Structure 1
Amino acid sequence: MKGEPLNERVAFIRGEDQLQLKLESTKASYKSREPVKINLQAQNGEGKPSFGNFSVTVVDETKVPADEDSETTILSHLLLTSDLKGYVEQPNYYFNQPTDEVNRALDNLMLTQGYRRYVWKEEVAATAAAKPQFAVEGLGIDISGQVQTLNKKPVPNASVMLMSLQARVNKVATADSMGRFKFDGIFMTDSVKFTVQARGNKNNDRVKVILDSLPKAKVGISKNKADFARNSAIIEQIIAKGGKAAQGLSAMQYLKQVDIKTTKTSVDRDITPQGMFRIPEGSADQTVTFPEAADCNTLSMCLQAKLQGIDIISEMGYTKIKDMRPSTKGETDLVLILDGRKITSPDEISEILVGSILPTDVAKVMVVRSNMAMKNLLGGSAIMIITRVGAARKPAYNKRSYRRAQRLQQSARVLFAAI
Structure 2
Amino acid sequence: MRYGCVCSGIGSATRAWQPLGWEAQFFSEIDKFPSAVLAHHYGSNMPGEPLAKNGIPNYGDFTQIGPEAGPVDLLVGGTPCQSFSVAGKRLGLDDPRGNLALEYLALARRLRARWIVWENVPGVLSSYSGSEQAAREVQEGPVGGEGNGIEDRDFAMFLSFVRECGYGFAYRVLDAQYVRVDGHARAVPQRRERVFLVGYLGDWRPAAAVLFEPEGMRGDSAPSRKAGQRVAGTVTGGAHPGGFNGQDAYNDKLIAHTLLAKANSSHRDDQETYVAHTLRADGFDASEDGTGRGTPIVPIAFAHQAGGKQTTLGYSDDGTCQTLSAHQKRAISFQERGRDGGRSLEIGGDVAFALTAPNGGGRAQEKNILQGWAVRRLTPRECERLQGFPDDFTNVPYRGKPAADGPRYKALSNSMAVNAMRWIGQRIDTMEKILQQREDAA
Q: Shared fold by TM > 0.5?
A: no
Return the TM-score normalized by structure 1. 0.22
Return the TM-score normalized by structure 2. 0.21
